[in-house]
Structure formats: structure tokens, C-alpha cells
Amino acid sequence: MKTVRRIFSYLGPYRGWLYMTIASMILLVVVELAPPQFYRLLLNAVAGEELPGWVVNVAGRFGFDVVSGEWTAGTAGLLTLMAGTLLVLQTIGAVLRFVRSYTAHLAGWGVVADARRDVYRHLQRLSLRYYSDQQTGQIMSRMVNDTDYFERLIAHSVPDTAVNVLKLIGVSAVLSAINWRLMLLTLVPVPFIVAGMQGFAKVVRPAFRARQKELGELNAILADNISGMREIKAFNREDIEASRISVRIDNYRNSMLRALRLMATFGPAVEWSAALGTIVVVYFGGRLAFEQVLTPGDLVAFFAYLTQFYQPVRQLTMAWEGIQEAAAGADRVAELLDEEPDVDDLPNAEDIPQRARGRLTFEDASFSYVDGDPVLEHIDLDVPSGSMVALVGPTGVGKTTLVSLIPRFYDVCEGRILLDGRDIRSLTLASLREQVSMVLQDVFLFHGTVRENILFGRPGASEAEMIEAAKVANAHDFILDLPQGYDTMVGERGVKLSGGQKQRISIARAVLKDAPILILDEATSSVDTETELLIQEALERLMVGRTTLVIAHRLSTIRNADTIVVLQNTGISEQGSHEELMRNGGLYRRLIEVQTRLIAAA
């Protein structure tokens, strides 16, 4: 049960609530053990059996002279006292049930919240390589759905198990006091129940895991389809996608029904075993009553306690189901938490003490994805501080991968990358990434306001600094024309804005961050000519005083770069200024000539 122990590791701050839960349940057990004693005394008194001396003494203290088998004023007073006591006990029981329920959920949901926070922090530590192999819906299912079962374990299974074991002990003691031989007979079904619980655990836990996996698959495909609803409509794929979703829904339903079938089998088996014990007691208890070994009151009390004896047995089986569900969820969460980040701070990593100058040096750097062919091999490149270097080449040649190595989204497989003469792996990730701003072709805006998305670059910036960043990005004017200005909601992924507007907000975000290294990944490739001009003006202002690496789709925008690096296959085929590369007559010149002909043809 290693994974279950992992759940308990989150319990520390909430142990007090759990102890309060267990304490209230123990008191509740004491309260629930009392009523059958009253029924026993009452029936024995009605049958004329002599009442215990302590009952007569208690009644006497209240002025009641009780005579067994007769209706007297003393008997009426004793009945009133018994009914009043039962009312008080039931009231106390109601309060204890509230305390038990609320404190259990405080502990349970506290554990769930902490586990989810831990999972999310771990997700942020994992590199982009991990996310390239995972579906968003599967990750969300592990974080949200699987951790939900932790609450059932902490709030129900754990306290129920502890208290029901104590209740079993308490009821067993009372039953033994009434008749120990009959008590032993009530234990007949217990070995069958215990054996059933062991077998149940072996088959139901894999079933619960399969159910959770199918739920993750359903969430994954739903997340994909909701994000791609525009494409589904554009390609008239509604019926096909509805069928795919339907298959996943059926798979989840079938896996759920399989788990429920196992649970439905286990529950009745326990009930049958408990009924077997009751039947045994009916026969032998009735015989003892006829033989006058047991009084009618003792027999009725024994049956009342027998119900309380098998009730915790049933609840223990339910708790066992909860433990298996939680364990199945914990297995899936553990798989995620055990995933080691392949990019992380080294043990002796140091912070960058001040703003970096921005010189970047690639020394024999190579990179390949896991189990993949090399993407980059033996890259040697020097990017002086404050210079502009453009990366060009055919699609898929590794331009974006190369710039992704700078903030260590991935780590080089061989060689190294230096920032101001220091290996970037010797620096903490946080301080390294603080030195880098990125403006990408595929702009991601968070669901929120324009203001929140710009301030994402530097949350502590002032209003004046934010507005100045928007002006530098040529975004201020169009933002003021929006319905609520800077407080306008942009929608999920900025769906309410045009491509050019989203791009300029991302530039404003980068301006506000004010990092010494700037990465521009085809930042103007998907906009019209007029918008491109506005974005290009903003980018030129942004590049001033920064080390800039530009991935360009339109080669006309990088003619003034200090160095143009041409990537071909898995390495650098040529580099130099625009004029030098045009004179060389290599790949760069051919790319320029192709684009020139395309523009002329248009």
C-alpha cells in the first residue's frame, strides 16, 4: 500500500481534524450502545424479571419505587426517566454526527487541495518534452478526478475503519456479557467476510484503475474537440467526432459497470454472510430462551446488539471499497509525480546576480528528441551582446528547437550553451528565464482581461509602465477602442481578438518584462501587410539594446540583421550578413530569389 501511504503524507496539517472526527465517532459509538440496554431493562421489567440493583437505586434517588411486572407510579416515573435519557442521548448523537461529518470533510478536502497543489507544482517542473507526449485531458483527469478519491479515503474510509473496529470490540464485549456462547456463534460469518475482502481487493483495484483510465481518455478527447470546435465545423466533422466521443463514453460506461458489478457482487455476499450469523443466533438464541437460560429482555437486547455487530462489518467492507478506489487513483497520481523532469536545477546551480549582458555562445551543441533522429548537430554560434541574429532555413530544420534551448525548455544532448561565459546549466532555471523574453507566432493569451495578459510579463508593474509598454507595442490605441479598454475580456486563448491584436499584446508583455535577451519566432508571419508594419515598428523599438534572435518567415524583414544563420539538415550551412550571403550564392540566396518570384507573381 505504498501509494496509500503517499496519500497519508498529506495528512500532517489536518491530523487534528481527523482526530476530532475519530473522537466524535467513538463518543457516538458509546451513545449508540446505550439504547438496547434500556429495551432490555424495559422488557425484563414487563416480564416480571427482577431489575438490577443499580436500576432500583437510581430510580429511588428520583423518588420512584419500581416494582417489576406491575404498573405503578414508580414504574411510570422510571419510564419517563428512561424516555428523557434516550431523548438526550439522541440529541447528543445528532451533534456528534454533525461534528464527525464536518471535521472529516475538512481533513479530506484539505488533503485533496494540497495533493492537487503538489501535482500542479510538479507539472510546472516537467519539461516541454513531457507535454509533447501527453494529452491535456489525461493530465487534468489525474489532477482533478483521481485526487477526488483521496477525500473518500481520509473523510470516510480511515475514520470509519478505526471507529468500526472499536465498535466491533465494544459490541462484542456487551454480547459476551449477555451470553458468551451465543457471542461465539455470531463470529461464524467473519472468516468468510475477511476472505472475501482479500479476494475483492485483488480484482476490484485493477477495475477501478481501468475506469479512471477510461475517464482520462474521455476527458482528453473532449478537451481536444472543444478546443478544435472551429475545425470540426469547418471540415463538417460533427457526425464523425460525435461517434468518436460516443465510443469513449461507452468505454467509460462499460469500465464503470464492470467496477460496479464487482462492488454489487461483494455487497450482497457480505449481507448473506451477516444473515447467516443472524440465522444461527435465531436458532440457538431461541432455544436458550425456551430453556430459560436467557430472559426475553436479554434475547431482544442480544438481537439489537447483533444488528450493531454486523453494521460495522458492512461499513468496513464499504470502507475497503473506498480504500481500493483511493489506491487506484493514487496509483495514477503517483505515476505522474514519479515522472522526473529532464530539465531541472542542478545541485550547485546559482542565480544570475544581476541583469545579464546577453552574450550567447553555442559550443558544439547537439540535440535530439527521445528515441528520435538528431535535430541539431555540432552547432557552433556566437551571438554578441546587443546584436541581432536571424535564423532562416526550410521548415522543420530546427530553428524553433535551437532558440528553445536558450531558456532550457530542452537541454542539449552534447556540447553546451553559454550565457556571458557561463554554462546555462550552472544557472537556476528561474534566474535564467528571467533574462529571456519571447514573442511567438502562435500567441497564447490567458482567459482574462487585456490588462492581466500584459501584466503577465511583470505582475508588479505600475499602470503607467503597463500603458507605456502597450504604446511601444503599438497596442494602446486599439486597446482603448475595445468595449472596456484594458479591462476587456479577451476570451479563451484570446479568441475575441484578431491575430494582429493578440500579437501586439504579446509584444507589450515582452516589453514590460524588459529582459536582455529577446526571441522572436516568426512574429509577423500570419498578419496582413498593414498590421505587419505596425508589429515590425513595435519589434524594432523592442529590440533596441537587447540581444535578439529572430526566426523569420519573410526574409525581407531580417536584411538588417548583424548575422544571418542558415540552417540546413541538422546544422549550420552558412552564416554572415545579407550582402555576404547573397554573394556566396548558397541556400540563403536561393530562398531570397524564390520569395522574390512569389511576391512578383502575386
Give the DSSP letter of residue 487. G
Picking from 229, 223, 313, the residue whose alpha carbon sits closest to that of residue 274 is: 313
Question: What is the reported pLDDT for 54?
Answer: 67
| Cβ proximity of 567 and 399 under 8 Å | yes
What distances in angstroms separate CA 260 from CA 160, 195, 208, one per listed residue?
Answer: 21, 20, 9
CA distance 352 to 436: 12
Question: What is the reported pLDDT for 164?
Answer: 78
Whether the predicted pLDDT of 390 surpasses 80: yes
Give the DSSP letter of residue 354. S
Whether the predicted pLDDT of 380 surpasses 90: yes
**List of long-range contacts for 98-102, beta carbons under 8 Å, 24+ apart:** 99/20, 99/21, 99/24, 100/21, 100/24, 100/25, 100/28, 100/159
| 20-29, 40-49, 131-140, 440-449: segment of lowest average pLDDT | 40-49
- Per residue in 238-254, pLDDT (tens digit) is 788 888 888 888 888 88
Within 8 A by CB and 6+ apart from 592, the residues are: 555, 582
Whether the predicted pLDDT of 549 surpasses 80: yes
Half-sphere exposure of 42 (CA within 13 A, CB side): 16
Phi/psi of residue 438, each to 5°?
-130, 135
In this prediction, residues 86-94 reach a mean pLDDT of 87
Tell me which amino acid residue 129 is. Answer: R
Whether the predicted pLDDT of 68 surpasses 70: no
Element (H, E) at 563: strand 563-568
CA distance 325 to 251: 19
Beta bridge partners of 517: 436, 547
> pLDDT band at 138, cuts 50/70/90?
confident
Element (H, E) at 287: helix 238-290
CA distance 297 to 214: 55
Whether the predicted pLDDT of 554 surpasses 80: no
Whether the predicted pLDDT of 1 surpasses 60: no
- Per residue in 124-133, pLDDT (tens digit) is 888 777 777 7
Mean pLDDT, the chain, rounded, equals: 80
* CATH 2.60.120.200 assigned to 2-337: no
In this prediction, residues 315-323 reach a mean pLDDT of 71
Q: In this structure, are strands 422-423 and 414-419 parallel, antiparallel, or unpaired?
A: antiparallel
Whether the predicted pLDDT of 257 surpasses 60: yes
Whether the predicted pLDDT of 504 surpasses 80: yes
- Per residue in 507-524, pLDDT (tens digit) is 888 888 888 998 888 766
| Cβ proximity of 398 and 391 under 8 Å | no
Tell me which amino acid residue 101 is. Answer: S
| Cβ proximity of 530 and 501 under 8 Å | no
| Residue of 404 and 37 predicted with greater confidence | 404
> pLDDT band at 362, cuts 50/70/90?
very high
| Cβ proximity of 411 and 342 under 8 Å | yes
For CA atoms 280, 286, 287, 289, the dihedral sign is: positive
| Residue of 323 and 47 predicted with greater confidence | 323
Percentage above 90 pLDDT, the chain: 6
| Cβ proximity of 24 and 103 under 8 Å | yes
> pLDDT band at 364, cuts 50/70/90?
very high
> pLDDT band at 366, cuts 50/70/90?
very high
Give the DSSP letter of residue 371. T
Whether the predicted pLDDT of 573 surpasses 80: yes
Question: What is the reported pLDDT for 3?
Answer: 65
Torsion of the alpha carbons at 570, 573, 574 and 575, rounded to the nearest 10 = 10
pTM value? 0.72
| Cβ proximity of 510 and 438 under 8 Å | yes
- Per residue in 396-450, pLDDT (tens digit) is 888 888 998 998 988 898 999 999 989 999 999 889 988 988 888 777 788 888 8
In this prediction, residues 103-124 reach a mean pLDDT of 86
Give the DSSP letter of residue 427. B
Burial class of residue 327 in the structure, from the number of CB atoms within 10 Å of its CB (0-12 exposed, 13-18 middle, 19+ buried): buried
Within 8 A by CB and 6+ apart from 131, the residues are: none
> pLDDT band at 283, cuts 50/70/90?
confident
Q: Concatenated DSSP letters for 429-446?
A: HHHHHTTEEEEESS----
In this prediction, residues 483-495 reach a mean pLDDT of 81
CA distance 437 to 507: 9
- Per residue in 585-594, pLDDT (tens digit) is 888 888 888 8
Question: What is the reported pLDDT for 528?
Answer: 61
> pLDDT band at 143, cuts 50/70/90?
confident
Within 8 A by CB and 6+ apart from 475, the residues are: 501, 504, 505, 507, 508, 538
| CATH no. of 360-601 | 3.40.50.300
Give the DSSP letter of residue 350. B
Beta bridge partners of 550: 390, 520
Q: Can you state the angle between helices 73-125 and 53-61, rounded to 10 degrees?
A: 100
Question: What is the reported pLDDT for 416?
Answer: 93
CB atoms within 10 A of CB 405: 20
In this prediction, residues 161-170 reach a mean pLDDT of 78
CA distance 44 to 547: 96
Question: What is the reported pLDDT for 139?
Answer: 80
Q: List the grid coordinates of 283.
A: 436458532
Tell me which amino acid residue 354 is. Answer: Q
CA distance 320 to 78: 43
CA distance 86 to 460: 63
Question: What is the reported pLDDT for 307?
Answer: 74
- Cα 11–Cα 12–Cα 18 angle in degrees, nearest 5: 60
CA distance 291 to 301: 17
Domain range list for the chain:
2-337, 360-601
| 18-22, 155-159, 299-303, 414-418: segment of lowest average pLDDT | 299-303
Whether the predicted pLDDT of 214 surpasses 80: yes
